[in-house]
Structure 1
Amino acid sequence: MDTTGALDEALDRIHASGPERLGWLTNHAPMAVEALVRHGQSGTVHRWLDRYRDNLEEMPSRHTPVTGGNWREALGDPARIADWADYFERETAERPWREVLAEWWPRLLPGIAGGATHPVIRTGHAVRTLLTTEETVPRNVELAHALGYWAARHAPLGELRTLAAEPSAAAALDAVAAVPDQSGGIEYRLEQLTAFPGWPPGPGADAAAGPDEARDRLRELVAAATHRYATHGHGEPVMLVHAATAPNAVLRVLPALPRELWPASLGAAWAASAAVTAAYAPAAPAAYTPVRSTPEEIFERAAAHGDDHTIKFTDTALDVGDGIALAAAVRSIELNTPFLS
């Protein structure tokens, strides 16, 4: 993927910063640069980072080290972001990263919606790199910072009723009811959730027949959420990309996990996608225009556009790869504000 060293150089630059700015806005740089390098845009990475510099802040102050004995009291405490990053840096330096991931995945999964799903998305990008390229110190550190961000922003959804079962992921997303008051931020919106449609068919999303079915259902969900952006992305062009990129992050992590964790991963991914859909659903769908461009041409457009969410969503759309997904990627380019001139 990266023959120039651009990714490691970029990650070294990014790791001097924290995962957020202004106390709640996410640092998207590690995810965007990974996608740029993945799709042959290494030459644009440092220019993109130079422009993104104003969106970076130093790592917050440290408080008390997180340890194997006190981690439960630190879970979900955003004031401990630096403590958590330090903890996972130590863990991934001392043990194989897959072992650390397998231990912490079930602990973190219930809080998948925390940080507006950005921590799990960052984790998905980091794991994809480690699965498909050689391990390096910056790539291991990136996973550590992603997991640390997730632990600090861990925020389980409230108790939700399960409504009537739907036959497909697309039908289930269509059946998700918008939250009553869409005037506030995502935390306020998620507090209004009361129920989700039942999907996949059966006792629940975390009770699939087995790991392979869970993986296949997860692929179905990613495709359905990506397709839905083509017709519904105008509801909130930035936030609605996460309905697709969050479950795709989970899908990217599956090969690194023990298979027995796959069904629960599907359940969490469905909850995250449905939650974002409910929080930002528009009143009505809109038509989209089919595209004739190649995937490579569309990603080049996204890279030139420069918006971090657009880059990440286009990356997911290319994973899906069909005509509607590519049209959805173009729709994100049209709807979101360009970052690079």
Structure 2
Amino acid sequence: MDTDHASGALDEALERLHTSGPERLGRLTNHAPMVVEALASHGRSAAVHRWLDLYAGHLEEFPAPFAPVTGANWPQALGDPRRAADWIAYFTREIADHPWRDLLATWWPRLLPGMYGGSTHPVIRVGHAVRTLTLNGENAPRLTELAHGLGYWAARHQPVTGITPLVVAAGAGAHEALDSVPPIADLSGGFPARLARVDRLPAWQPGATDPDEAQLRLTELVRAATHRYATHGHGNATMMVHAATAPNAVLRTLPALPRGQWAASLHAAWTASAAVTAMYAPAEPAAYARPGSRLTAEDVMERALAHGDEHVIKLTDTALDVGDEQALAAALRSAELSEPLRG
């Protein structure tokens, strides 16, 4: 891949997108910044603007300011979606004055308890932004993208409280723990309504405090949730994606964080993945087709791009991180279950 070309295409796309808001219709997430980063990261930079042209109808203008966010009043502004523009402006100022890793280290523990708002999309957007900054270096569009992601997260900050921890069998892996998640009783309504009904979740790896152990278990969780999509994605083709992509966003961010924040990151990511499972997983698994032996990761990404749906591309991005046969099968399954993007 021509790294300079990929970075240039991504930077142009981000600049184009920073005139748009983080949401549309007051509740639906703008997925474009995440998708263009995934495409550029997997050698599909030439398709970035073509995909954006198809997605353009899903973009809205940047929202109007409501009331400025400051270093003094930010606790009161946390979780107020009316102040998305104000939060983005705040982080844009802060990232101009502080190294981005220092800013992330300050705000990660403040935002992490509320990673469940916005259907977990804000933390996923931050994870994409951090990957680009870490692998490709910093410049104005990439730093601005991190500011937009953090601002969106702060505006949609929503903690999960009142969870009764359920005992998990000793030695249970992430896949077994996800299998043991009890579904919520009332499956009506959208993400916020369902999330409010999550009151029991298995306590998986509660004693993991060592940073290296936390990273290992988070990697295991991403693999298990991605694999599980192949058999359980039919519960909700779109929402079940987040059981894998949200913890993967956290996993991608770990290397940019102080090691002392890794264990808390694992526990928050587990809660997110388990909560999505409780809210959307089907009662029974379904069979899935295994990819042919000659099908490569590049082939699977090309199929995702041809399909075009934003969640298909993002799950494929995570599946390629996992990199094994069942992960690729999950990516293909998401394309089977989802409607293609139409311009």
TM-score (normalised: structure 2) = 0.96
Partner of 1:339: 341
Distance (whole Å) between structure 1 residues aligned to residue 168 and residue 54 of structure 2: 46
Is residue 2:192 matched to residue 1:190? Answer: no
1:55 match: 58
How many correspondences in the alignment?
336
- Report the CA distance between 1:340 and its aligned residue: 4.9
Partner residue in 2 for 1:238:
238
Inter-partner Cα distance in structure 2 for 1:209 and 1:180: 32
**Take 2:178 and 2:145, find their aligned partners in 1: how far apart are those partners?**
32
In the aligned structure 2, how far is the partner of 1:334 from the partner of 1:340? 16
Counterpart code for 1:42: S
Cα distance in 2 between the residues matched to 1:209 and 1:130: 27
Tell me, in whole angstroms, the C-alpha distance in 1 between the residues paired with 2:198 and 2:46. Answer: 43
Q: Is the CA contact 1:163–1:197 (under 8 Å) kept in the aligned structure 2?
A: yes
Partner residue of 1:111?
Answer: 114
Query: Cα RMSD (Å) of the superposition?
Result: 1.0
Seq. identity, %: 64
Q: Which residue of 2 aligns with 1:180?
A: 185
**Letter aligned with residue 171 of structure 1:** E
Q: CA deviation at 1:60?
A: 1.1
1:110-157 deviation line (CA, Å, top 9, x unaligned): 001100000000000000000000211000000000000000000001
Contiguous gaps of at least 5 residues in structure 2: none
Instruction: Verify the 8 A CA contact 1:304 1:340 in the aligned structure 2.
Output: no
**Per-residue CA distance 1:209-268 (angstroms, 9 max, x = gap):** 400000000000000000000000000000100000000000000000000000000000
Q: CA deviation at 1:158?
A: 2.0
Distance 2:140 2:196 in 1: 39
Distance 1:140 1:265 in 2: 22
Deviations 1:80-133 (A, max 9, x none): 000000000011111100000000000000001100000000000000000000
Distance 1:340 1:296, change over 3 A: farther
Moved over 6 A (4+): none
Q: Which moved more, 1:49-58 or 1:121-130?
A: 49-58
For 1:81, the equivalent position in structure 2 comes to: 84
Q: Which of 17, 20, 33 is the aligned partner of 1:17? A: 20
The aligned residue for residue 139 of structure 2 is 136
Q: 1:239 is matched by which residue type in structure 2? A: M
Identify unmatched segments of 5+ residues in structure 1: none
Q: 1: distance between equivalents of 2:66 and 2:203?
A: 42
Quick one: distance in 2 between partners of 1:336 and 1:10? 25
What residue is the counterpart of 1:318 in the other structure?
320
Q: Does 1:329 align with 2:295?
A: no
Aligned to 1:225: 225
Letter in 2 for 1:197: P
- Name the structure 1 match of 2:70: 67
State whether residues 109 and 268 of structure 1, in contact with CA within 8 Å, keep that contact through their aligned partners in structure 2. yes
Mapped partners of 1:220, 1:266: distance in 2? 11
Whether 1:263 and 2:268 are equivalent positions in the alignment is: no
When the two structures are superposed, what TM-score results if normalisation uses the length of structure 1? 0.97
